[in-house]
Amino acid sequence: MRSDSDTLSGRSRPGADGRGVLDVLVVGAGPVGLTAAAELRRRGAGVRIVERLPARLPYAKAVGIQPRTLEVWDRMGCARAAWEAAVPMRGQLLYVDGVERSRLELVLPPEVPYRFAALPQYETERILEEFLAGFGTRIERGTELVSFGQDADGVTARLLATRDGGPPAEEELRCRYLVGCDGAHSTVRKQLGLGFEGGAFPEEYMLGDVEVDWDLPPGYGVRSTRRGPDGPDGPDGPDDDVLVCIPLPGNGRYRVSMNVPPELSAAQRAGDPEAGDGVAHGLDGGARAPGLADIQRVLDRLSPRPATASALRWSSVFRISHRLVDRYGEGRAFVAGDAAHIHPPTGAQGMNTGIQDAFNLAWKLSLAVEGSAAPGLLASYDAERRPVGEEVVGRTVRHASQGVQADPEDLETLLLREAQLLVGYPDSPIVAGMSAPGTRDTDGADGGAGPRPGDRVPDCTGLTTELVARPLRLYDLLRERDHVLLLYGDERTSGDFARLAARAAESSHGAVRACALLAADAAPGGAVGPPELPVYRDARGEFARLCSVRPPTALLVRPDGCLGARLHPPTAEALATCLARVFRG
């Protein structure tokens, strides 16, 4: 982390007029904004993060943590705090009219390092806030973005702070970039004039955070429905009544959701303004909060086992829209998370997609702040993440209305997709594309199995080095690093690795770290370059098998764990061409 003029809130650099210019202003301190701020600070950028609310909300809104999100936090260095606070999501039980219809076990391939987890959103925010504080940056609560304007050199933002009971204080702030993580009613999105097309579901739901005493197995989500026998499709028709329970940390604790009764419906209130901008999404603070008796009545009606609810922590009415921005930014201002996409909570995709938006943008912004980004790097944020948002919105809408059977995939593919492990960027302008299998393109990449450029690089185990007594995982090598160049070879092919590592450092302004990986059958003592190049052995052959490599091959792994380039055989010229997509010359 750089030490030049750091403050509690970040770093300012002198502008052309002599005033300090902040690197990045992050608006919104939910999980998305905190991820963006933490990754930017970890990389040395000066950041301030402002939040309109005076305190963290005590609501378990988003509770599912996908394995891919844990991988992202692993790269940042904060995954351990998350897995220690979370509980495992072992599967889902489906009941129809009180009869168990299916039991889905959430089992992933053994090489996937993390499993599905459940964690209340306020705990996710606590963990990320504490991680961010470790870089000297704290949330400026009670502070909102009122307006902003931008020019070719930066953004001028007007903030309004209402803290400590004093009079409102206005501040004009100059920053290089602005990131709007300010939710479904985003000020940043509105002032940028971004389109936000979509629709709304007519249904309303009530949510509650309660303890449920029943004999169902812990760690399983429960979906229980009753279907009207006189409906158009009989007992296999659409759900007339539904109860969904997601396990949370604590003894018998669940976040429960169910159809809202008429007396609690927001739609029954006269003159409902739809939150002022036509976007009906999220918790409805204007509705009467459901009580424990309201939840118990639903349990009495729908629970497949006798159940008693107690210890209600909070409750609310919830409404759902599905919308997507027409672009993820304009000029020097960007949006992420709910500011860019909202959709049904089916499969716990929303917060996780937003966190990955934030991480994708943060590593690119950090290079732009340093002045080492290629001209098209920031434009790749929209090119990579908007197709992901479009797919997630479409899929969750289908699943909310038709069930997961709307996408007839095999079970393994279904689980990998829900875990967000299939998210990739094959059409990204900053990855080195591949030609048909068995051929080479202008970047020197060869076809074949294994991850293609833009795909997630799989984890593997069985990597050894002389000073570590236990086998290592590939993700151990990638943790808390930027781009990593993995050079795979044997005693015959590894002689050029030192030159490739030097070229990578030169072409990336020192951002790329190289590691040599020797094949399992490579003879010891092969020439792999100077001592400063770390050397590992693929002792079990897992890296070669899962990544489908043969000596000599170079894999350029991006900060988000996706493959930026695959070179066989690697040459310094081809590597420099690939890096020029990300780093300025």
- Specify which residues 422 forms β-bridges with: none
Half-sphere exposure of 480 (CA within 13 A, CB side): 8
Q: Which helix (H) or strand (E) holds 554?
A: strand 553-557
Please name the amino acid found at residue 10: G
- Write down the pLDDT at residue 312: 94
- Write down the pLDDT at residue 156: 98
- Write down the pLDDT at residue 231: 41
Are the C-beta atoms of residues 536 and 517 closer than 8 Å to each other? yes
Instruction: State the burial class of residue 372 (Cβ atoms within 10 Å of its Cβ: 0-12, 13-18, 19+).
Output: middle
- Specify which residues 205 forms β-bridges with: 259, 318
Omega before residue 229 within 30° of 0, cis = no
Half-sphere exposure of 403 (CA within 13 A, CB side): 10
**Distant-in-sequence, close-in-space partners of 418: CB < 8 Å, separation ≥ 6:** 66, 347, 349
- Write down the pLDDT at residue 122: 93
- Write down the pLDDT at residue 267: 57
Please name the amino acid found at residue 138: R
| Rounded distance between C-alpha atoms, residue 68 and residue 422, angstroms | 9
| Rounded distance between C-alpha atoms, residue 312 and residue 440, angstroms | 61
DSSP for 380-439 reads HHHHHHHHHHHHHHHHHHHHHHH-GGGS---HHHHHHHHTTTT---TT-TTS----STT-
585 residues of the chain, pLDDT tens digit each: 333 333 344 555 544 333 579 999 999 999 999 999 999 999 999 999 999 999 998 877 889 999 999 999 999 999 999 999 999 999 999 999 999 999 999 999 999 999 999 999 999 999 999 999 999 999 999 999 999 999 999 999 999 998 777 788 999 999 999 999 999 999 999 999 999 999 888 778 888 999 999 999 999 999 999 876 544 344 444 456 889 999 999 999 999 999 888 777 765 443 444 444 555 555 655 557 889 999 999 999 999 999 999 999 989 888 888 999 999 999 999 999 999 999 888 778 989 999 999 999 999 999 999 999 999 999 999 999 999 999 999 888 887 766 666 677 789 999 999 999 999 999 999 998 753 333 344 343 444 578 999 999 999 999 999 899 999 999 999 999 999 999 999 888 777 899 999 999 999 999 999 999 999 988 765 445 455 789 999 999 999 999 999 999 999 999 999 999 999 999 999 999 999 999 998
Q: Which residue has the tokens 């053994």?
A: 110
| Rounded distance between C-alpha atoms, residue 135 and residue 447, angstroms | 42
- Write down the pLDDT at residue 396: 85
- Write down the pLDDT at residue 11: 54
DSSP for 358-376 reads HHHHHHHHHHHHHT-B-TT
| Rounded distance between C-alpha atoms, residue 188 and residue 553, angstroms | 44
What pTM, to 2 d.p., does this model score? Answer: 0.91
| Rounded distance between C-alpha atoms, residue 46 and residue 10, angstroms | 4
